[in-house]
Structure formats: structure tokens, C-alpha cells
A and B are shown apart, each in its own frame.
Chain A
Amino acid sequence: QFNRSNATPWICAAPLAGGVSAAAVRQSQNRTRMGLNTGHGSSIKEVPIVTFKWHHVETPYLIALWILVAGLAKMVIEANHHVTNVIPESALLICFGFILGGMVWGADKVQTFTLTPTVFFFYLLPQIILDAGYFMPNKLFFGNMGAILIYAIIGTCWNAASLGLSLWGCHKGGAMGDLDIGLLQYLLFGSLMAAVDPVAVIAVFEQVHVNEVLFILVFGESLLNDGVTVVLFNVFDAFVSLGGSQIDAVEIIKGIISFFVVAFGGSLLGFVFGLLVSLLTRCTKNIQIIEPGFIFVLGYLAYLTAEMLSLSAILSIVFCGVCCQKYINANMDEKSVSTVRYTMKVLANGSETMIFVFLGISAIDKTIWVWNTGFILLTLLFIMVYRFIGVFFLTWILNRYRLVPIGFIDQVIMSYGGLRGAVAYGLAVMLDENKIKEKNLMISTTLIVVYFTVIFQGITMKPLVTWLKVKRAAVTELTLIEKVQNKVFDHVLVAIEDISGQIGHNYMRDKWNYFEEKWMSWALMKPSVRKSRDHVFSVFHQLNLKDAMSYVAEGERRGSLEFIRNESAFIDFKKKFGDEFSEAMPDIMANMSDDHGAASDRRRDPVPSVSLEMHEQTMKGMRETEDINTHHLLQQHLYKGRKQHRHRYSRSHFDVNKDENEVQEIFQRTMRSRLESFKSAKMGVAPPKTISKYSKKDQQQKMPNGKSLDRSKSYYSGDEDFEFSEGDSASGYDASGSTFPMRVTYRAGAGIENPAFMPDMDPMTPIQIPPWLMEAELDSGMVAPSQRAQVRLPWTPSNLRRLAPFRASAQSNDSFMLADAPATQQRDDEELPPPPSPPPPPSNRDGGYM
């Protein structure tokens, strides 16, 4: 297939950007080589102590410098949110580019630095698109796939044809004077101007939080129309080369076929690479440190391979990201996932910044500017008008088939959001001057269009959205009950389709899910993570995590006052808690799109500056696949956070006189037992041989707890630990006691820990006093902070109760925990507070593992 398409002369004409290379870079490379030669070749008379070798480092130095400058520009721009609230960052960056370009022009009298297609298509674009694919809200994307494809394919063709033909018509009518442009060249120009640009769309739309359907329609269109653009551009480019006389029906049919080859071939290639990445991350257990690298390298290879085969590179890398996101998030270590997420964002944001700055710089170049009022203004006019017509017409058709029609206002925004950007510019620069005499006019027009759409439409987008009262992205809390219900609805709809004998959307999705679950997950996911996936459950985790986060945050706020008194605790706290928290935060930010109470105040940035947030917003509610990440996150961070709790509780216990205040003690004990049970469950994942020693106890345990028999062995061992902790002293502790530090001692007579019973504690009002309040009551010195805490805290035990199931979560993932257990345990030993600090029943403790 590919061979055939390559054989046809006009498809393989030039892989999108391959033919053109960066003149500036090449030049400086030559100079570099020269520099090397002079440095080593010439005979020297004495040993130089210091030599100044600018040419030796020029190219990389300049690149690094530009990156730095672009970064600084973004920093300056983002420093003032009053400005960015009105003018989108992309527009400001372009303006900054103007200034920089002016400075360079003033110094050199020639524009040394422009955005060359090679740099743009090979080094700046791929990471942005990979990022888009990787963070793609899959369900939303595929749910609206039909509409997106219609807009991307028919809409783009319509834009190209209408613009080209209209300009040609106007030309014939004499509206733009004497230009040497034929019909085919107009069509070529139309095809490069037709595509909505993903980079510009992301940049503008991330700051206006429109509703997710609208966003995905515009964004999806901008991504997928690349296939169409590439084909149209190549086809018309070839037509221009062939000349009008040689174009016959066969060539046109070839063009149509090439569209399918380019688009589907590119997507398929991306899919294959996505599977490859997923498979690869299954086996990277021992090289976790470099596993994030695979994602980027293979993504980039997907892009380059598609480029090599003259397929749609953008489609390829998008689908690579889309396909692998679920599996790599599940397969990789949680830290690697964060690394990937962040590197992705760093690269994408960096490139985006560079692109806009260079778009600005490119304008300051006398040589490219050719002004033709008629041509430029008509282009602008036609682009707007035909975009509106196209969107409205296609939506009108689509709305007849859509269950939820796209509203009028959404259509306006969609039309208005048809931004052109660097892709169009890159294509324009790639035009062949020999074939197209008016290349510079086309470049200037493209630049004008880009500036107009990005700056003018970008600035007016937000007021327009506000003015039209476009439905915004609803920032809603993802609740568990809702998740459950959505799941139920899904099942019901599938069942109804079954009963009514229809094969519809739900049927297909169900079949796909089944296939995906059964085969793809099997092949692409590690067995350990495959087990622990459950959507409802992961929401449950997410919510728990959120609770825990705010709980910890509150603890920190309160704790900081205490630490003034208690130096050792301060160090301890800082060391452990600080690390964990800062480590946990980014993940939470990435994972939880909703505004989380205590955590949000750490986020000083009121306006999301990264496309990350936008995506996350969009993804909310349909991130079923990504939740596994949270799952892992929860395991790790809660576990560590819990240690902090334990530490505090044991210390606070120090103060509490339990004889006097038994109720408080019960509460504390409950809390501790929950936390400890989590710990024990984790530690209980001991080698089977340890468990077998206590099989008798297992039997006893099983019945009272009402555990069913299909539980895993390790689960029992978890419970078994509880039993020991309950009251037995040293006896029988030699085995398991040595495997985990015995800190569970403060639970004499607490009974078997069972979260199901926890709720019973709630109705007892005295218990509802949070532990720190109790502390405060006993310690008069603490009254003031505790009162503040009392006012501020949303805590009730019912909130805390949510913490209880952490233990359960540990069980579901025992293999995951198993891998983690030894290391953590070691840390435990190290971090174990010095013996005097948690004194309560020391006999037990000593008996435990001394």
C-alpha cells in the first residue's frame, strides 16, 4: 500500500517537511565545522590558557539561548494575570516575538532566526501533539468521533475548496490586481490555509473553559484534519507541478485514495506504536529510571516513521498517545507516570512557547513581505465566512443524527474557534518558489491570517464566550454515587439494546470494552495491575485520597504550631511530611480536576497556565482509564501520610489521660486501629511460609470476621497480625514480629478491626471531637490554635471514616504492595520514633520485636 503510494510521484513529492531544511542551522553548522577546523588544524605557537571558541558552540548555544529567552518571555507574560486574563498568552508571545525580531533585525539587518519548517515539524510540533494524544479524554473523543471526523474531513475540504475557488473568482473579477496565480495554486493555498491549527486551538481554548463537548469538537477537528491537510497539500502541490493539462480523472482518484492511505495508514501506524509502547512498559520493571523515556522516543519514532512513509505524522502520534495512555499509566511505576505527565507538559508547553515567539519573530523580515490588500483581506474574509458556513451546515446535518444537538451558540464558538496557526505557516514556507511565483505573498497572507486569528480572535474569544453565555466546563465534584449510577446506566442501555435487538452505539462500545478488557488488557497490562482495576473503586480511591490530602494539609497547619514546642517532632514532621506532601501534590493536581479544598490554596496560580489543566478539566468524569494512576498514588501516599498520623496520634496519646476520658480514648483507638490496620494489611503481605505457621489462628479469624473463603492468603495474614496486636504478648511473634515493627500495641481489647463497624461510632456525639481538640483540652497552652482549628475544620468522624478503607485498598493490590513492602518497611524501622516517645503499653511493644 505504502509502496504504491510512494510510487506515485505526487504523493512522495516531499514528506511534509523533509525537503526543506533550516538554512540558518545549516549555515551555522558549517561555521561550527569551520570553527573546529581552525581550533585544531592551525598550528599554534604557544599553549593557550583561555581561548574564546564561539563558533565551536554556536548552534547548541543559540538553541539553548532561544529556549531560555522563550521561557523567560513566558515567565514575564505570566507574571501579571490581569493582562493574561484579557489577552491570551499566545497572542502576547507573538507580540513578544515581534519585539525580539525587531531587535534582531535592528542588529543584523537581516532576519537570522525564523521558524523553519524542519524545526517546526520535526522538533517543535511532535511533543505538542503527543501531549494532546496522551491526555486525550478518550471516551469523549471517541464518543464524538463521528462529528469530529465530519468536521475534520468534509469541513477542511470545504474550507480549502471554497477559499481557493473564491479567491480565484475574485482574481478573475480583478479584485486583486495583477497576480501570477492560477486556479491550482489558489487551491493549494486554500488547502494550506484550511486546517484549523491544534497548537493555536489548545493555546486559546485552554484559557476559556468552554464545555467539554465543544472543546473536543474543535480540538479533535484540529488534530484529525492533519490527514486531510497533508493530502490536500501534497495533491495540489503535485497538481501544480504537473500543470493543469495533465490532471485527469485517474490522478484525482489517486488523490482520493491517497487520502485514505495517508489518514488511515497514519492512524494505524500510531496504533501499532501505541501497542508497542504498552508492551514495552510491561517489561521495564528493572529499568524504571528510564522507562518514561520510551514513551517519548517511541512516540517520536511513530511520528518520524509516518513522515518517512509519507503518512499523516500528526495522526500517527495522536493515536500512539491515545492508545498507550491507559496501558502505560497502568504498567509503569507511579513515579514514572508522573514523570511522563510532567515531561510531556514541559515539552509541549516549551514548544508551544517557542512556536509563538518564533511566529512573531518571523514576521520581522522585509524580504517576505509582499502586500496585496485585495488578496489578504479577501483571504481573511473568506476564511471567516466559509468557516461559519461550513460549521453551520455540517452541524445542521449532524444535529439530525445527534441525540444531543449542538446548540447555536456552540456553533458560533466552533466557527469562531477556527484558528490558523504555525502548521499553515510551516506549509506556506515549504512552498516551492519556482512553481509558485507569489510564494511570499502567500507567506505574508498566512502570517496575517495567523496573527489575526490568534491575536484578534484569541482576545475576543473570552468576551464572546461570556457574552453568549456559552456553557462552560462544569466544575463538578466527582461523586461515587454518580459513578455508580453512570455505570448502571451504561449497563441498562446495553441491556435495552440487547432486548430491543438493536446494534447501536452502546452495543458497539460494550463489545469493544469487552474485547479490550479481555484481550488488550491481557496482552498489554501487567497482571498485577490488571487485577486491581475497577472504575467505581478508583473513584472511591480518588475521593479517599482527596479526603486524606485535606486531612494531612489540616494537620500540617495545626502541626506547625505544635512543632515550636516539640523540636524532635518538628524535624520528623518536616522530613517525612514535607517530602510526601510536595511529592503528592503534583499528582493530585494532575489527577483531580476538581478544585480540592485544602490543596487549592497551595496552587497560587489562579489561571491555569498549562494546557494540563484544560485537559484535566475536560477529562473529568471520563477518566476511567487514567484512574489506575490515582490508585497507585493513593497506595503510596496514603501509606506514608498515615505514618504521620500515627506519629501524631501516639504522641497525642501521650498527653491523654485515658482513665479520665475514656470516650476520647475510644475514638483515638479507633482511628489508630484503622490506620494500623491499613499498615498491618500491608505488612501482612508476607511470604506464604510465614502465614502457614499461624494457620490455626487463621481458622479462628475467618469465622468471626465473616470472611469468605475466596480471599487470598495474604489477606488472612493481615488479619492475623491484628490478632496478635490485640493482646498477645511476645508469644508467637518471632516470625511476623520480626517482619514488621510492632506498633500496633495500643489496641488492647479493641476487637477485631472491621470497617463495617466503624460507622457505629459516629452517633456517639462525644466522639465527634477531633483528636486535636481533645489534645487541646488537656493542654491549655494549645487552646488558641485548637479553637482556630475547630472553626476551620470540616472534620467530623464521618469524614475520617472514609480513611478506613485504605486497608482494604491495600488488599486488593497485594502484589503491588508486595513489591513495595520491603523498602517501606525498612524505612519504617528507620523512621520509628525513639522508644520513649510512644510509650503506652511498652511491654507489648518490647515483647513484639525486641
Chain B
Amino acid sequence: MGSSSSSMDHIPNAEELMQETGFSAAHLLRLYERFEFLDKDQTGELRPEDFGAIGGLALNPIGDRIISAFFSPGQETVDFPSFVRVLAHFRPNGTNRTRNGTQQEPVNSRTRKLKFAFQLYDQDRDGKISRAELLQVLRAMLGIQVTEEQLQSIAERAIQEADLDRDDAISFDEFKKVQQVSPHPQTPTKETPLHPTEGGR
């Protein structure tokens, strides 16, 4: 993938990043190549448009949200370290137990992963998924044949299910509970993309 011209030397703070994110050097290198590839105008930073250029993302119903998750509030661009930090959420957990088991909260922990997903809903970052926010996500994800009323009632019911403190919104704790009660049925398979063995495919 990409040219072999770039090496570890080109990556700023490579060591720190590896420490922080738990990526191996090979991963980091590959991600850097990818970053450079996405960075069409060679500014060293990615803009939302750069992400938008990825073909598959345009077909993704919540692609915009995912893109915006890469940008911290108020910022227009994302540099390589931040890019890697976001991606580090998706490293499979379990592989780094030995490496940084002492660390309190690795970036790819279950909680952090859920937090990432939570923030996809929580656009106003108030720590709660309101009904309106859930509705937006639902609207994006359900086809047009589902009517507004149906969306309303689905959102209504979904909130009811998760809402333990009856404040008509889902807090992060409630969000976490939902996922804990019933384990994700898909986890047995190789879900997470940045698994070492999958890179080459």
C-alpha cells in the first residue's frame, strides 16, 4: 500500500505515539502512508473534505458524524497524531494487556470505544443523548420508507428502554449498561479493523 519512501523518520513523535496508542511501528507507518495519501494538498493536516473524498464514506449513512468525530470541537483540521489517536480507539483490546497493562485506561478500552460511539450521537456534547439526537441518527440510518411517526415512536421506545433515571435522555452510563446487559452479538468475529493480521488483505 503506497510508496515505501516514507519511513519512521518522517513521522513526528513516532515513539510517543506508539506508546500512547499502542500501535506497532508497522501500523503507524501504514497509517502514516494512508494519512499522506488522504492529504491531497500535502499540508500535513486533513480537512473534512479530505475525508469526504473517500468513496466508501459517502455511502455511509453516518459518515459525516464519523468524520466529525476526528475533529475536536472548533477545529477545522486534524493532524497526524490526532488522526492516529482517534483510530487507536479501534484497536482490538486484549492485545495490549501485556504491553501497557499498568496504564489506567488505554485508549482502546471498552469504555473508550463506547464513549466514541456515544459521542457520535451526542452532537451537542452535553453528556446525554436526547431524543432529538437519537432521532437524527435514526433518520440517517433508516430508509426513507420509514415515516416520521415511526421514527418518533422508535426513538421514543429506544429511549424508554435505556433510560433508567427517567430524564428522557440517555446518559453515558445508561448507554454503557445497554451494551453490558447483552453482549454484542457480533464480537466473536473479527470486527475491529485494525487487527494486525487483517492489514495485509
Cβ–Cβ contact A495 & B34, under 8 A: no
Q: Which of B47-81 contact A (CB under 8 A)?
A: 51, 54-57, 59-63, 66-67, 70
B 180-193 to A, binary, CB cutoff 8 A, 1 in contact else 0 = 01111111111111
Interchain pairs with CB closer than 8 A, number: 213
B113's closest neighbor in chain A, by CB? A489
List of B residues within 8 angstroms of A551 by Cβ: none
Q: Which of A468-494 contact B (CB under 8 A)?
A: 474, 476-482, 484-494
Q: Which of B132-180 contact A (CB under 8 A)?
A: 134, 137-138, 141-150, 152-154, 156-162, 170, 175, 178-179
In the complex, how many angstroms separate the beta carbon of A794 from the nearest chain B beta carbon? Answer: 14
Q: A143-B186, A487-B141 are in contact. Are A496 and B66 (CB under 8 A)?
A: yes
Cβ–Cβ contact A536 & B188, under 8 A: no
Asked whether any CB of chain B lies closer than 8 Å to the CB of A403, the reply is yes
Bound-state Cα–Cα, A620 to B182, Å: 11
Q: A484-B137, A505-B198 are in contact. Are A495 and B63 (CB under 8 A)?
A: yes
Asked whether any CB of chain A lies closer than 8 Å to the CB of B197, the reply is yes
Cβ–Cβ contact A489 & B117, under 8 A: yes
Q: A401-B197, A536-B138 are in contact. Are A812 and B145 (CB under 8 A)?
A: yes
Bound-state Cα–Cα, A707 to B57, Å: 30
Cβ–Cβ contact B138 & A484, under 8 A: yes
Bound-state Cα–Cα, A333 to B66, Å: 40
List of B residues within 8 angstroms of A706 by Cβ: 148
In the complex, how many angstroms separate the beta carbon of B88 from the nearest chain A beta carbon? Answer: 11
Q: A484-B141, A536-B142 are in contact. Are A505 and B34 (CB under 8 A)?
A: no
Q: A403-B189, A481-B161 are in contact. Are A492 and B145 (CB under 8 A)?
A: no
The one of A532, A622, A801 that contacts B185, using a Cβ cutoff of 8 Å: A622
Bound-state Cα–Cα, A807 to B55, Å: 38
List of B residues within 8 angstroms of A503 by Cβ: 201
Bound-state Cα–Cα, A317 to B87, Å: 43
Q: A499-B51, A543-B157 are in contact. Are A531 and B60 (CB under 8 A)?
A: no
Cβ–Cβ contact A481 & B90, under 8 A: no
Q: A534-B146, A536-B141 are in contact. Are A493 and B191 (CB under 8 A)?
A: yes
Cβ–Cβ contact B188 & A404, under 8 A: yes
List of B residues within 8 angstroms of A478 by Cβ: 182
Bound-state Cα–Cα, A496 to B70, Å: 11
Cβ–Cβ contact B117 & A485, under 8 A: yes
B159's closest neighbor in chain A, by CB? A481
Bound-state Cα–Cα, A34 to B120, Å: 79
List of B residues within 8 angstroms of A534 by Cβ: 142-143, 145-146
Asked whether any CB of chain A lies closer than 8 Å to the CB of B18, the reply is no
The one of A476, A504, A622 that contacts B198, using a Cβ cutoff of 8 Å: A504
In the complex, how many angstroms separate the beta carbon of B97 from the nearest chain A beta carbon? Answer: 12
In the complex, how many angstroms separate the beta carbon of A541 from the nearest chain B beta carbon? Answer: 10
Asked whether any CB of chain A lies closer than 8 Å to the CB of B14, the reply is no
The one of B63, B181, B191 that contacts A476, using a Cβ cutoff of 8 Å: B181
Asked whether any CB of chain A lies closer than 8 Å to the CB of B11, the reply is no
Asked whether any CB of chain B lies closer than 8 Å to the CB of A621, the reply is yes
Bound-state Cα–Cα, A491 to B121, Å: 13
Asked whether any CB of chain B lies closer than 8 Å to the CB of A802, the reply is yes
Q: A488-B117, A495-B63, A514-B59 are in contact. Are A501 and B154 (CB under 8 A)?
A: no
In the complex, how many angstroms separate the beta carbon of B26 from the nearest chain A beta carbon? Answer: 13
List of A residues within 8 angstroms of B186 by Cβ: 139, 143, 486, 489-490, 622
Q: A489-B184, A811-B147 are in contact. Are A510 and B56 (CB under 8 A)?
A: yes
Q: Which of B12-71 contact A (CB under 8 A)?
A: 31, 34, 37-38, 51, 54-57, 59-63, 66-67, 70
Asked whether any CB of chain B lies closer than 8 Å to the CB of A498, the reply is yes
Q: Which of A212, A487, A532 has the most chain B CB atoms inside 10 A of its CB?
A: A487
Cβ–Cβ contact A143 & B51, under 8 A: no
Asked whether any CB of chain A lies closer than 8 Å to the CB of B92, the reply is yes
B197's closest neighbor in chain A, by CB? A401
In the complex, how many angstroms separate the beta carbon of A728 from the nearest chain B beta carbon? Answer: 23
Bound-state Cα–Cα, A804 to B160, Å: 15
Asked whether any CB of chain A lies closer than 8 Å to the CB of B101, the reply is no
Asked whether any CB of chain B lies closer than 8 Å to the CB of A829, the reply is no
Cβ–Cβ contact B142 & A505, under 8 A: no
Asked whether any CB of chain B lies closer than 8 Å to the CB of A755, the reply is yes
In the complex, how many angstroms separate the beta carbon of A209 from the nearest chain B beta carbon? Answer: 15
List of B residues within 8 angstroms of A812 by Cβ: 145-147, 150
Asked whether any CB of chain B lies closer than 8 Å to the CB of A776, the reply is no
List of B residues within 8 angstroms of A620 by Cβ: 185
Cβ–Cβ contact A759 & B156, under 8 A: yes
List of B residues within 8 angstroms of A139 by Cβ: 186
A804's closest neighbor in chain B, by CB? B153
In the complex, how many angstroms separate the beta carbon of B166 from the nearest chain A beta carbon? Answer: 10
List of B residues within 8 angstroms of A496 by Cβ: 66, 87, 90, 193-194
Q: Which of A529-548 contact B (CB under 8 A)?
A: 531-532, 534, 536-537, 540, 543
Asked whether any CB of chain B lies closer than 8 Å to the CB of A97, the reply is no
Cβ–Cβ contact B183 & A474, under 8 A: yes
Asked whether any CB of chain B lies closer than 8 Å to the CB of A178, the reply is no
Cβ–Cβ contact A708 & B148, under 8 A: yes
The one of A143, A507, A540, A756 that contacts B188, using a Cβ cutoff of 8 Å: A143
Cβ–Cβ contact A143 & B189, under 8 A: yes
List of B residues within 8 angstroms of A4 by Cβ: none
List of B residues within 8 angstroms of A488 by Cβ: 62, 117, 120-121, 137, 141
Cβ–Cβ contact A492 & B117, under 8 A: yes
Cβ–Cβ contact A536 & B154, under 8 A: yes
Asked whether any CB of chain B lies closer than 8 Å to the CB of A248, the reply is no
Q: Which of A130-153 contact B (CB under 8 A)?
A: 139-140, 143-144
Bound-state Cα–Cα, A405 to B141, Å: 31
In the complex, how many angstroms separate the beta carbon of A761 from the nearest chain B beta carbon? Answer: 13
Cβ–Cβ contact B191 & A710, under 8 A: no
A 209-222 to B, binary, CB cutoff 8 A, 1 in contact else 0 = 00011000000000
Cβ–Cβ contact B190 & A401, under 8 A: yes
The one of A495, A502, A510 that contacts B62, using a Cβ cutoff of 8 Å: A495
List of A residues within 8 angstroms of B149 by Cβ: 754-756, 805, 807-808
In the complex, how many angstroms separate the beta carbon of B147 from the nearest chain A beta carbon? Answer: 6
Q: Which of A741-763 contact B (CB under 8 A)?
A: 754-756, 759
The one of A476, A485, A543, A808 that contacts B150, using a Cβ cutoff of 8 Å: A808
Cβ–Cβ contact A403 & B191, under 8 A: yes
Cβ–Cβ contact B154 & A537, under 8 A: yes
Q: Which of B1, B152, B175 has the most chain A CB atoms inside 10 A of its CB?
A: B152
In the complex, how many angstroms separate the beta carbon of A502 from the nearest chain B beta carbon? Answer: 5
Asked whether any CB of chain B lies closer than 8 Å to the CB of A809, the reply is yes
B189's closest neighbor in chain A, by CB? A143
Bound-state Cα–Cα, A805 to B148, Å: 11
The one of B147, B158, B192, B193 that contacts A808, using a Cβ cutoff of 8 Å: B147
List of B residues within 8 angstroms of A811 by Cβ: 147
Q: A488-B120, A503-B201, A805-B150 are in contact. Are A495 and B66 (CB under 8 A)?
A: yes
Asked whether any CB of chain B lies closer than 8 Å to the CB of A798, the reply is yes
Asked whether any CB of chain B lies closer than 8 Å to the CB of A402, the reply is yes
Cβ–Cβ contact A480 & B120, under 8 A: no
Q: Which 5 residue pairs of A and B lie closest in terms of their CB atoms, listed nearest first?
A: A143-B189, A476-B182, A621-B185, A498-B56, A805-B153
**A binding-site residues for B, Cβ under 8 Å:** 139-140, 143-144, 212-213, 400-405, 474, 476-482, 484-507, 510, 514, 531-532, 534, 536-537, 540, 543, 620-622, 706-708, 710-711, 715, 754-756, 759, 798, 801-802, 804-805, 807-809, 811-812
**B binding-site residues for A, Cβ under 8 Å:** 1, 31, 34, 37-38, 51, 54-57, 59-63, 66-67, 70, 87, 90, 92, 94, 116-117, 120-121, 134, 137-138, 141-150, 152-154, 156-162, 170, 175, 178-179, 181-195, 197-199, 201
19 A-B pairs with CB atoms under 8 Å apart are A143-B186, A213-B188, A404-B187, A479-B161, A481-B159, A484-B138, A486-B185, A488-B141, A495-B63, A495-B67, A496-B87, A497-B56, A499-B54, A502-B199, A505-B193, A536-B154, A710-B144, A756-B149, A805-B149
Apart from A536-B154, A802-B153, what 12 extra A-B contacts exist at CB < 8 Å?
Answer: A143-B189, A405-B94, A484-B137, A487-B141, A493-B191, A495-B56, A496-B66, A498-B60, A504-B198, A531-B145, A808-B147, A808-B149
